[in-house]
Chains A and B, each alone.
Chain A
Amino acid sequence: MTIAAAKGILPSAERPGAYAAHARRWLQENLTDRLRTDRAHEPRATLDELKRFEAALYRAGLAGITWPTAYGGHGLTLREHLEANREIGLAPAPNAVNSIGKELVGPIVLAVGDERQKAEFLPAILGMDTIWCQGFSEPGAGSDLAGLRTRVERCADGWRVNGQKIWTSGASKSQRCLLLARTGVPEDRHRGLVLFAVPMDRPGIDVREIRSMDGDRSFCEVFFSDVIVDEADMLGAPDEGWLAATRVLSIERATNRMYRAWRFESELDHLIAACRTDARSLAILQGYARELAQIRVEIEMLKGHVETLVESLLAGEEIGPRGSFPKLYWSESHQRFAQIAFEVVSRFPPTAGQALRDVKARMEAIYLHSRAETIYAGTTEIQLDIIGKRILNLSRAS
């Protein structure tokens, strides 16, 4: 019996909105002030608190929704996933610590992993026992991922890894790394790429944190010096694993952090609610009425992109390059919002009360962080190339 069934929550097909109602209720009861991202004056939640919250979210049926029950999932559809994510987005909830595990590793393991890997890795992701990081980008291979140089070669104990990864978010708190490396030479480009589930406590792995422009230290560099990994931790055969993974990735681009449109709405709601607590701030905000209206329109359009792709996936259609549309739209629209919001909060008077100070801190952080959004998960320029080449079939030939 699934958790949802045990709790008497009906799938969306039987009762639309029931899953959303459950999610809303659960969040109201479990999202404490310390966990809320709109309470800058509260002490920040610790990593352990965030992990406990995320594990509880799963136990409440709000994560691992579409994963098979055999591996700890709730065995439901993207429809319930969408309903739950709308509510998670509307709330000032923290971003997932293990989003790489849940949104990238899980689907790849389900697609190419063997039975042992599925049974071992998947429940540990949902239960927050194993946090994952993504070892794809390298100093010489960012947008041009096929240029990566990290090498794996067979040895007596399994495989030996040598190389360097960068922009590995959360590596310093991860227990495993989804490593993309090659068996041959860099000139092989897309051939000979292989995926490994590397335990982060192996000798020869050195993690260095990189301080990002928003002051965070989540980014890392990861160095692999003669690191031995087990054959059993290879995901799919060389070549096969990566090919299957890219298919999964195109779906993931369309569905990951599905709550984003609603979180975006929630941030705008917070700005407005806070400004309404003070006449001077409200007057400032009213000067931005048209810009905010435009942003609110864009939020609805973003929901349209997400819901259209969810309907396509539910109908069994291929998403392919269409996943680029929501990524491109969200990242640029969110940056525009962040610029407006920053300008609004920068005009608050020094006498501003707690509500305004809280929203100011949140909007400043959003503004800085938003600069990464057109860079990570495929830059704006890469998305535009994908649309031009694979949707419009524009010839690049001279």
Chain B
Amino acid sequence: MTDEIDPKDFEDTARAVVEACAKASDGRARARLLAEAGLFGVIAPEEAGGLGLSLRHAVPVVAAAGSGLLAYPLIEAMVLARALAGVDAAEAGRILSGESLATIAWSGVAEDGLVGHAPLAEEADRILIFRADGGAVLAAASNVVRVEPSSDRWDVDLPSAPVRTDGPVTGIELGAEAVRALRADADLLRAAHILGSASHCLSLAIGHAQGREQFGRPLSSYQVLRHKMSRDALVTETIRNGIARALSAHREDADLVREAAWLNAARSGPAVAENAIQIFGGMGFTWEVPLHRHLRQMRAQGSYGAAADLLERFGQALIASSSNEWYREENHAN
């Protein structure tokens, strides 16, 4: 398979599967639906049973998951299947087939004894846990690695749980380089997830503003609300273009461009849900209207990708290493 396949071809499939997943009883049932459609394997190598496509093709799939509030750690399954393919093809295969429900504990390291931010850990068979040396280990959810009863219901659709590690954690190991690549893939997919979620919130807001009348006029006839939605269109378009830019091949500045795309999505996406809640008025603040679920999942992705920490590091690196040959310090007359 090659990149000649149009990424858009995946969009309809992904939407339909995500819709079906909403009716499934649990994570395992969703894993089967997603696996049958081949969605776990979009970016996994063909040798391991994946489609061997680029991240570009995974973007619409993950965006559909964000848009449809998919209750499954899809990003985690995708990046794990790709990272494990060269290390343990059988393990990658079990994730691809939906047999193994795998997730990642995004915060903390094994040495701390407690790691967190592991979406759907309560149902998981395998949990990737990072280590202080930059590597990671794929642990079986067993006595050694205990998933604590989740107290964190922040993300209503995809709750995460803390994971306790008693003693040394064993399992398939990933080196620091593989972990870096996995995190890089995850950052871009998280941006796509937020894009899907934010775009859906904007379309809900537009639908409401066109249909709801106040003072005898549709809300959309008020310029202040039209402008709010125009700004949100700018936000979603900016996230989309940022992702597209990060995906364009052979960039010298790939790390910077990817980090910027992720930071932008994490920092600007949630505001689209916040604005949609405002446009919905009192209804927007109710549990039934799904805007809060989008807001929650976008904020959760922001935490998994440690956007706030990254922004700080990004700023420090900018000040320490900004290099434009026109402003070399020695050129300045002091």
Contact = CB atoms under 8 A, between A and B. Distances in A.
B260 A297 contact: yes
A286 B218 CA distance: 48
Nearest to B260: A300
B303 interface: no
Nearest to B257: A300
Nearest to A91: B326
The 9 closest A-B pairs by CB, nearest first: A289-B315, A293-B315, A273-B327, A269-B324, A304-B241, A300-B260, A355-B332, A387-B230, A388-B226
Contacts of A144: none
Interface string B224-249: 00110111011001100110110010
A381 B238 CA distance: 18
B327 A270 contact: yes
B226 A289 contact: no
Interface string B154-192: 000000000000000000000000000000000000000
A272 B318 contact: yes
Contacts of B234: 325, 328-329, 387
A303 B334 contact: no
Nearest to B252: A17
Interface of B: 206, 209-210, 216-218, 220-221, 223, 226-227, 229-231, 233-234, 237-238, 241-242, 244-245, 248, 256-257, 260-261, 263-264, 267, 311-312, 314-316, 318-319, 322-324, 326-329, 332-334
A269 B322 contact: yes
Given A270-B324, A394-B210, A394-B226, A304 B334 contact: no
Interface residues of A, number: 58
A323 to B, nearest CB: 12
A270 B324 CA distance: 8
Interface in A290-313: 290-294, 296-298, 300-301, 303-305, 307-308
Of B210, B312, B322, most A-chain CB atoms within 10 Å: B322
A285 interface: yes
Contact of A296 (B241, B314, B328): B314
Of A92, A291, A303, A384, most B-chain CB atoms within 10 Å: A384
14 contacts: A269-B324, A272-B322, A293-B263, A300-B242, A300-B256, A301-B238, A301-B242, A385-B223, A388-B233, A391-B233, A392-B229, A394-B206, A395-B221, A396-B226
A286 B317 CA distance: 10
Interface of A: 38, 41, 90-92, 265-266, 268-270, 272-277, 282, 285-286, 288-294, 296-298, 300-301, 303-305, 307-308, 322, 325, 328-329, 353-355, 358, 381, 383-385, 387-389, 391-392, 394-398
A298 B315 CA distance: 13
Given A272-B319, A298-B264, 8 more contacts: A273-B322, A282-B319, A293-B311, A301-B238, A329-B234, A355-B333, A385-B223, A394-B210
